[in-house]
Amino acid sequence: MLHTYSLAELSQGLEKGDFTSVALTQHYLERIKQHQEMLNCYISVCEESALAQAAAADTTRARGAATPLTGIPIAQKDLLCTAGVKTSCGSKMLDNFIAPYDAAVIERCNAAGMVMLGKTNMDEFAMGSSNENSFHGPVMNPWDIERVPGGSSGGSAAAVAARLTPCATGTDTGGSIRQPAALTGITGLKPTYGRISRYGLIAYASSLDQAGPMTQTAEDAALLLNILAGHDPRDSTCMSNPVPDYQATLNQSIKGLTIGIPEEYFTAELNSQIGDTLQVAIKELQKLGANIKPIRLPNTHLGVPVYYVIAPAEASSNLSRYDGVRYGYRCENPKDLLDLYKRTRAEGFGEEVKRRILIGTYVLSAGYYDAYYIKAQKIRRLIRNDFIEAFKEVDVILGPTSPTTAFKLGEKTTDPISMYLSDIYTINVNLAGLPGLSLPAGFVDGLPVGMQLIGKDFDEATLLKVAHQYQQVSHWHREIPNMFKGAK
């Protein structure tokens, strides 16, 4: 059953000639046909171009020019621009938008010979934690289709969890890779800010956005990060730090590694069963030789309010370009310019996007800028300093990814604040620019629990190593929801 293979296994199978990329791609396209209607995790499925890419990959491999990921299918989040394929960003505003160019992430996947199965569903403009804010409708969680998969990369998470793709990309501004990864039982990595080019990634909050891999295993994430990471002169914030071979260090022992457990991450806000589940996982890591050390991150509670100043501020400006003038949605029969702007934006954006544009416009306004935006930037620095201090004593920080397991569709849609609090453990990592990884650590009432590892700047290798070592002694990442285990 090809869909149970990890990337590493698929890579070996292709190399040995056990199956072709065309067969593999057909297998996944079949599964998508079978399950897409129930899960709604894809916005576009690219059957024809995927099969063409697969055939080309097989030729490349026959020529002996294959890379480890040549011929392996991938699903791309619908906010990464793809030449010739619609990039809607989950919005009515861009539902007719076909980019004339590929995002850097797409270019790199293409260069590696990967096969794009399609574009995945997401919260509109990546704003949301449940994938219920999509113009294309909500995505269902494969573990319980009455529940959300998390967001904003909910389509990618559900597609990987249901094995409708062997891997996917997500983007993470406040937890949008890690939280859905946690809620669907997969592995998701948000790299250090500046590790992967943002060129062609439709901006939500530019100082926080970062793309990353969403996979079954840490090893798969390492394989994908190997091709995605690296400098791009088209993104001024993309760093030129050397890119290590993330796969090469996975099998190193974690003996002697110090893992910090922040007191602030294990409080009453955390579902106690999740807390218990993580304690078991921590014991496993201890058995592997890691030292566990309690730490403090005293400004943790300020993260959500700071995020909801900075991210909307940037978003209010980033989303100004959607004005109905050059591309995207335009209202019918505008009577004048102001009417064109007002109705295009009123009709083209969903509720949550409009809420954040309003918040952002407010906090940047004359008279409020210092009190909100400047103050938020100062606290952002304090939050980062907390981590810097902690990393003087520990190598990795461990905590929950999300305070709850997957919640029911509609449960939080009327209460934005409770929705925002889904990201209390992930948001600070974006504010600090650090890498964070979520991996499956068990189940509570049949729903996956995510464990978050936070690393030093550009130290993805250590996160991947710890996660991989844990996955050598656990089986959570191998679990597939019953409905999606089948032969097809």
Partner 1 sequence: MEWEAVIGLEVHAQLATQTKIFSGAATAYGAAPNTQACAVDLGLPGVLPVLNAECVRMAIKFGLSTQSTIAPRSIFARKNYFYPDLPKGYQISQYEHPIVYNGYLDVLLEDDTLKRVGITRAHLEEDAGKSLHESFYNMTGLDFNRAGTALLEIVSEPDLRSAKEAVAYLKALHALVTCLNICDGNMQEGSFRCDANVSVRPKGESRLGTRTETKNVNSFRFVERAINYEIERQIQILESGGSIRQETRLFDSVKNETRPMRSKEEANDYRYFPDPDLLPVMIQQEQIDQVRETMPELPWEKQQRFQQSYGLSRYDANVLTSSQALSDYYEITLQHAGGDAKLVANWVMGDVSAFLNKHGLSIEECPVTALQLAKLLQRILDNTISGKIAKTLFEAMWAGEGDVDTLIEKKGLKQVTDNQAILAIIQQVIQESPQQLADYQAGKERLFGYFVGQVMQKTQGKANPQQVNDLLKKALSK
Nearest-approach distance from CB 95 to partner 1, in angstroms: 12
What count of residues does the chain have? 488
| List 113, 200, 350, 400, residue binding partner 1 (CB under 8 A) | 200
Q: Are strands 436-444 and 42-45 parallel, antiparallel or unpaired?
A: unpaired
- Tell me which DSSP letter residue 139 carries: P
- The C-alpha atoms of residue 206 and residue 265 are separated, in whole angstroms, by 26
Q: Are strands 436-444 and 187-190 parallel, antiparallel or unpaired?
A: antiparallel
The active-site residue, picked from 77, 92, 456, 465, is 77
Interaction between residue 297 and partner 1 (CB under 8 A): no
Cβ-based nearer residue to partner 1, 368 or 443: 368
Nearest-approach distance from CB 55 to partner 1, in angstroms: 29
- Tell me which DSSP letter residue 254 carries: -
Nearest-approach distance from CB 134 to partner 1, in angstroms: 17
The active-site residue, picked from 21, 129, 152, 422, is 152
Q: Is 156 a catalytic residue?
A: no
Q: Is 176 a catalytic residue?
A: yes
| List 1, 84, 101, 385, residue binding partner 1 (CB under 8 A) | 101
Among residues 209, 457, 464, 468, the alpha carbon closest in space to that of 319 is found at 209
- The C-alpha atoms of residue 85 and residue 102 are separated, in whole angstroms, by 10
Count of other CB atoms within 10 angstroms of residue 365: 11
Question: Going by C-beta distance under 8 Å and a sequence separation of 6 or more, which residues neighbour residue 326?
Answer: none
The active-site residue, picked from 88, 91, 176, 316, is 176
- Restricted to residues 31-90, the positions that interact with partner 1 (CB under 8 A) are 79-81, 87, 89
Cβ-based nearer residue to partner 1, 133 or 171: 171
Q: Which segment (11-19, 194-202, 282-290, 294-302) binds partner 1 by CB under 8 A?
A: 194-202
**C-beta separation of 95 from 329 below 8 A:** yes
Among residues 149, 212, 145, 154, the alpha carbon closest in space to that of 183 is found at 149
Backbone angles phi, psi at 144, to 5 degrees: -165, 105
Interaction between residue 383 and partner 1 (CB under 8 A): no
Question: Going by C-beta distance under 8 Å and a sequence separation of 6 or more, which residues neighbour residue 369?
Answer: 363
| List 373, 407, 476, 484, residue binding partner 1 (CB under 8 A) | 373
Nearest-approach distance from CB 306 to partner 1, in angstroms: 15
Q: Which segment (15-23, 26-34, 195-203, 393-401) binds partner 1 by CB under 8 A?
A: 195-203
Among residues 77, 176, 172, the alpha carbon closest in space to that of 129 is found at 176
Q: Which segment (40-48, 174-182, 254-262, 311-319) binds partner 1 by CB under 8 A?
A: 311-319
**Residue 108 has which token pair?**
């790199």
User: Interface with partner 1 by CB under 8 A: which residues?
Assistant: 79-81, 87, 89, 94, 97, 99-101, 103, 198-203, 205-207, 233-237, 313-314, 316-317, 319-321, 323, 325-327, 337, 341, 361, 364-366, 369, 373
Catalytic site positions = 77, 152, 176
